[in-house]
Amino acid sequence: MEISARNQLSGTVQAIKTGAVMAEIIVNVDAGTVAAVITDSSREQLSLNEGDQVTVIIKATEVMIGK
């Protein structure tokens, strides 16, 4: 599958916190840790488990930096 998002980070699922509707997925990448919130049904469809190798894909119209 080809996608237009340029920011793609390979990593390992560190933790999964599931809820009634949403799931928080914590992924270890080279630069640190990335958290993503997806629907729990998407988590089930992807069969995500701790230790899985995944690609974090970031597509945003705004990226904020603070100092």
In tens, the pLDDT along 10-52 reads: 999 999 999 999 999 999 999 999 999 999 999 999 999 999 9
Residue 5 has pLDDT above 90, yes or no: no
pLDDT reported for residue 39? 97
3-class SS string, 5-66: CCEEEEEEEEEEEECCCEEEEEEEECCEEEEEEEEHHHHHHHCCCCCCEEEEEECCCCCCCC
Domains of the chain: 7-58 (2.40.50.100)
pLDDT reported for residue 55? 95
pLDDT reported for residue 13? 98
| Nearest alpha carbon to residue 35 among 52, 63, 16, 19 | 16
pLDDT reported for residue 65? 80
